[in-house]
Structure 1
Amino acid sequence: MRASEHGDAVGVTFFDEVGGSATFEKLVHEFYQGVAGDPVLKPMYPEEDLGPAERRLTMFLEQYWGGPGTYSEERGHPRLRMRHMPFKVNPDARDRWLLHMRRAVDTLMLPPYAEEVLWDYLQRAAHAMVNTFEE
């Protein structure tokens, strides 16, 4: 971390503030623990092993919050809506995703401001992925 001439930190990202890779790895691992037993969400993952999906989401979130750019290096532009189009993401699926993610966020024990910032983003992202209102 560098300091500017005014003494405040320069170059510190949200990724750094919340604990870096370890925090995002824990978040995503806890999230997929819930997904693994979810009868609506689990079938959306073509691989039986959720490990590859866990890695992709971890890389995406790390990059989004200012960490390593591994996601784009390996997968290109995120194009989240396009990548989710093959799946029926209805309000029920969104709400289940948010339920598992909320439980995962709670395990992080983040400071209130950081938790609010992260949770706000996750809610907006989940709502943006809805692509049908069919059951």
Structure 2
Amino acid sequence: MKEIPRGTLQEQTFYEQVGGEETFRRLAHRFYEGVAEDPLLRPMYPEGDLGPAEERMALFLMQYWGGPRTYSENRGHPRLRMRHAPFTVDRAAHDAWLRHMRDAVDSLDLSEAHRDELWRYLTYAAASMINTPD
């Protein structure tokens, strides 16, 4: 049997490992189902329909985790803090966001390792969006 030289097998991205586009679309959809009913978070989305925000989140997360670069091609650099600056993001908003995101992450059929890695990023991202002291 011929040995495969090291470094010749391409490693799958996190995006591919967790199921690709479908997984991130399901995550964003479940998250925004919660946001739609949340009295604290819903006013932060001025659009009557949450669909555009759901699409932006799905595309951003797909790109972040190694999928297509559609988000940047359409919107440029993510600049998450700048994009969230017009909104009051305090500890209560942070907690509400994470509550809905936890539900969304838990609704996916991910391995414990993938779930933990995704959650670490999401909790970091949520904390970095806080722009108003309690």
The two structures have a TM-score, normalised by structure 2, of 0.94
CA distance in 2, matches of 1:40, 1:11: 41
CA distance in 2, matches of 1:124, 1:9: 31
CA distance in 1, matches of 2:88, 2:17: 35
Q: Give the superposed CA RMSD.
A: 1.3
Deviation at 1:5, TM superposition (A): 2.1
Q: Which amino acid aligns with 1:23?
A: T
Aligned to 2:59: 59
CA distance in 2, matches of 1:130, 1:91: 7
CA distance in 1, matches of 2:133, 2:124: 17
Alignment of 1:3-22 (within 5 A): 5-6=5-6, 9-22=9-22
Aligned to 1:47: 47
Deviation at 1:19, TM superposition (A): 0.2
Q: Which has the larger radius of gyration?
A: 2
CA distance in 2, matches of 1:69, 1:53: 17
Q: Which amino acid aligns with 1:50?
A: L
Structure 2: which 5+ runs fail to align?
none
Question: Which structure 1 residue ranges, 4+ long, deviate > 6 Å from structure 2?
Answer: none
Deviation at 1:41, TM superposition (A): 0.2
Deviation at 1:11, TM superposition (A): 4.0
- The reply to whether residue 79 of structure 1 matches residue 79 of structure 2 is yes
CA distance in 2, matches of 1:44, 1:82: 14
Aligned to 1:133: 133
- The reply to whether residue 24 of structure 1 matches residue 24 of structure 2 is yes
Corresponding residue SS for 1:108: coil
Q: Which amino acid aligns with 1:74?
A: N
Deviation at 1:7, TM superposition (A): 7.6
Corresponding residue SS for 2:114: helix
Cα gap change, 1:68 to 1:132, in 2 (>3 Å)? same
Identity %: 58
